[in-house]
Amino acid sequence: MTLENIKLDVEYVRSQFPAFNDPLSKNWSFFENAGGSYVPKNVIDRLTEFMTSTKVQPYANYPMSKLAGEQMDNATEYFAEMINAKKNEILIGGSTSINLYVLSNALKKILDKNDEIIVTNQDHEANISPWRRLKNAGVKIKEWKFNLDNHELEIKDLEKLISNKTKILAVTHCSNIVGSINNLKKICEIAHKNDVIVIGDGVSYAPHGFPDVKELGVDFYTFSLYKTYGPHLALMYGKEEILKDLPNQNHEFLNGQYPYTLNPGGPNHEELASLIGIYEYFENLYKHHFNQSEKTTLKKINKINNLIAKHEEMIANPLLEYLNNREDIKLIGKNKIKNKNRAPTISFISNKISSENFSNKLIDKKIATRNDNFYAWRCLKALGINTNDGVIRISMTHYNNMSDTEKLIKVLEKI
C-alpha cells in the first residue's frame, strides 16, 4: 500500500479513548474539541501510575523519587522530539494564557520606549492582552486586522505595519474562530528580516498535527496540552538563543538555568509525567498504520500528521459545504479544507435564531457543542457578532468520524 492510500483507522483511534465507552459520554457526538479534547488510555494510565507509585518529591536518590524525576524528564524530552526542539527549549506551564503572560513580562527587557508591538484582531485574547499591556512600558501597539471579506490575515497588510521600531509580533497559527491556518513560516521570514521576535499561538493548530518549530522558524510557540489529548497544562517552545538571555523570574539562585528561569515556579509533576502517554499514543498510532520503521520521532509525527489531516478534511468538508450552501447561516472562514489550509474548527451564526438557542438544540440531540466568543472577542467584534451570544462552534478532531458528521447534518437540517 502506498503512503497516499493509507487511511486513518478511526475505529482503532476511538478504541484508545475510554470516553467513547463511558456511560456519560458514550452516545454523544463530541464537537467541542477546540475547547478541550478527550484523553487516550495511555495518559490516564501514566497519571494513575505516577499517583500510585511515584507521587513523592522528585529527583532525590530513593527509587520512587528517582523514577518520578525520570518520568518528568522523559515527558519533556519526548515532546521536544515531537516538535523538533531541544529539551532546554521546552517550558511546561499551567495554561497558554499563563505562559504568554510570563513571557511578555520577561520580554519587557528588550523593549525601549517608542518601540512597537504588533498584535492581531484574529487571535484569542491570550496572545493579545499580555502584549497590549506592555503599552504601560511606553511601547506603541499596532493591530494587524484581518480582511473582513474573507476573514484572513493578509501578509501584505503585515508588511505595511512592520517598521524598524517593531520588536515583537504576536500572531496565531490558526484562529479558534476562523479556522484558517496562517502561513507562520512566511510571517516569520518577513518579521526576521526586520529583527522582530515572533510569538506564535499554536493552540488551535497543534491538535490537528504537532508543529515542527524549526521548520516554522518561530521564536516562541505555545499550545495547550489539554487540547492535544493531555491534562490541563500548556507547552511553550522558546528559541534557545533568545530564551537564555531572558531575565530570571524564578528563585534568584536559579540564575542562568534556563528554561527554568522563565516560570516563577515548577510544573504540575503528575500531569507532566502523564504527557508520556500522549507520546505513547502517537507511537501506537504510527505502529498501527505503518510497517516501515522511521528513525526519528519527528518523521513518525509527520506521517501521522498527514493521516490526520486527510481524515479531518474528509469528515469536515461535507459540513462546510452544507453550512456554506444555507442562506440562513453565515459561515466564518474558508468553505473548504484543501491541503491543510484550514482546521476543522467551524464557526457560524444563524440569521433566524440566537447562537445560544441553536447550540442548545444541538445539545438536545446529544451533539456536544457550545456558543461563545471563545475569548476571541476582538475577532467577533470585528465581524459584527454579539460577543455575549457568540458563534456556534463545531470543532472536530481526528477521533470524530463520518457518522458524527452525518448525524450533525441531519440534526442541522431539522433545526
Q: Which residues bind ligand PLP (CB under 6 A)?
A: 95-97, 124, 126, 172, 176, 201, 203-204, 224, 234
What's the min distance (Å) between Cβ of 172 and ligand PLP?
6
What's the min distance (Å) between Cβ of 203 and ligand PLP?
3
What's the min distance (Å) between Cβ of 101 and ligand PLP?
9
What's the min distance (Å) between Cβ of 201 and ligand PLP?
5
Q: Which is nearer to ligand PLP, 63 or 265 (CB)?
A: 265
Q: Which is nearer to ligand PLP, 216 or 412 (CB)?
A: 216
Q: Which is nearer to ligand PLP, 68 or 106 (CB)?
A: 106
Tell me if residue 26 falls in helix, strand or coil: coil
The three grid cell numbers given for residue 100, joined into one nine-digit string = 504568554
Please report which residue ranges of 56-95 form alpha helices under DSSP H.
Answer: 63-83
Q: Which is nearer to ligand PLP, 29 or 176 (CB)?
A: 176
Q: Which is nearer to ligand PLP, 97 or 297 (CB)?
A: 97
Q: Which is nearer to ligand PLP, 16 or 355 (CB)?
A: 355
Q: Which is nearer to ligand PLP, 106 or 128 (CB)?
A: 128
* H or E stretch covering 29: strand 29-30
Q: Are 40 and 281 in contact (CB under 8 A)?
A: yes
The three grid cell numbers given for residue 329, joined into one nine-digit string = 447561516
Chain Cα centroid distance, residue 275: 15
Residue 213: CB atoms within 10 A of its CB come to 23
What's the min distance (Å) between Cβ of 126 and ligand PLP?
4
Cα separation, 141 vs 118, in Å, equals 6
Give residues with Cβ within 8 angstroms of 52, minimum separation 6: none
Q: Are 309 and 302 in contact (CB under 8 A)?
A: no
Cα separation, 266 vs 284, in Å, equals 30
Please report which residue ranges of 326-354 form alpha helices under DSSP H.
Answer: none
Cα separation, 272 vs 259, in Å, equals 15
What's the min distance (Å) between Cβ of 382 and ligand PLP?
16
Rounded to 5°, angle at Cα 291 from 288 and 297: 75
What's the min distance (Å) between Cβ of 128 and ligand PLP?
10
- Helices 63-83 & 276-289 angle (0-180, nearest 10): 50
Residue 320: CB atoms within 10 A of its CB come to 22
What's the min distance (Å) between Cβ of 228 and ligand PLP?
11
Q: Which is nearer to ligand PLP, 95 or 324 (CB)?
A: 95
Q: Which is nearer to ligand PLP, 138 or 265 (CB)?
A: 265
What's the min distance (Å) between Cβ of 108 and ligand PLP?
20
Cα separation, 268 vs 280, in Å, equals 20
Q: Are 399 and 285 in contact (CB under 8 A)?
A: no
What's the min distance (Å) between Cβ of 93 and ligand PLP?
9
Q: Which is nearer to ligand PLP, 54 or 228 (CB)?
A: 228
CA distances from 353 to 181, 323, 357, 369 (A): 29, 15, 6, 16
Bridge partners (DSSP) of residue 220 are 199, 238
